[in-house]
Every structure is written in C-alpha cells, then in structure tokens.
Amino acid sequence: MTTHSPQAAAETVRAAYRNMTGQLGNLGLDTATPAGVRDLADKTVKQTRQVCDHTLNAFDASVSTFERSFDAVGQGAAAFNRKFIDIARRNVAASFDLANSLTGAKTLTDMVELQAVFLRKQFGILAEQAEEVRALSTKVTADAVAQMKSQMTRGASETLQTR
C-alpha cells in the first residue's frame, strides 16, 4: 500500500508544468502574453473595479436608507405601544371606578343603573380611543413613508453624484 504526501503531489504537478512549458518552448511558440492583451486585461480589471466600487457605494447607501426607514418604523411601533398602554390604563382605572361605585350601591337597582351608565360612557370612550388609534396610525404611516421617500431621494442623489 502506497501513501501519497501533499508535498509529493505538489512536486508532481510542478514537474508536469515544467515539462509542458518546455515542450511549448521546443515548438517555438512564444509563451509570453502580448502587451496588447496585458493592457486590455489591465484596463478591464480597472473598469470592473470602478463598477464594483460604485455598486458597493450604492449598496451602502441603500443599507443606510433601510436602516433609517426601520428607525422611523421602530419609533412608530413604540408610539403604538405607548398609546395602547395609555388606553389600557384608562380602561382599567374606569373599571376600578365602577367597582368602587358598585361597593357603595345600596340596592340591586342602584347596581344595575351604575353599570348601565358605565357601559354607555364606556362605549363613547371606546369610540374615542378607536379614533385616537386611527389618527396615530395615519401619522405613523405618513411619517414612515416620508422618511423612506426622503432617504430614497437622498440615496438616489448621492448615487448620481458619485457617477
């Protein structure tokens, strides 16, 4: 059983390369790359590098745009959370007020009347709260869209200026 080492394999490849280039030299073929081909390759590499740099700059601008847009969306989400917490606190406080009133009721009729008044009032409050959420939703959406438009416009301007 024979084992092959990486060094032996590398030496075999080197020997095959030397043999091949030697045979090409014996054929009288010039194995040197013509200057025109080298110049063309150099020019192509430089142009490709410029395109790549430009593309990377545009990509970086896009990433910045998305980051800023996500910041605006995140701020909107935080505003929604604060609004819902505020609404929940007000509703819990109103429910405790009802419970407190009910403990002072002397008759079943008083209790039913307190609950009826509470429910009528609460339906009005719920409509107001729905309007608050709708208004906030409209504002958050408009702010996020404005932020995205601003960032996209700025990114497009920066991209055009770098050309």
Residues 70-104 pLDDT 10s: 776 778 888 888 888 888 889 888 988 888 888 88
- Asked if residues 79 and 136 have their Cβ atoms less than 8 Å apart, the reply is yes
At 41, is the pLDDT very low, low, confident or very high (cuts 50, 70, 90)? confident
With vertex at residue 148, the alpha carbon angle to CA 144 and CA 152, rounded to the nearest 5 degrees, is 175
Distance CA 96, CA 65 (A): 47
pTM of the model: 0.53
Q: Under 8 Å CB-to-CB from 143, ≥6 apart: which residues?
A: 72, 75, 76
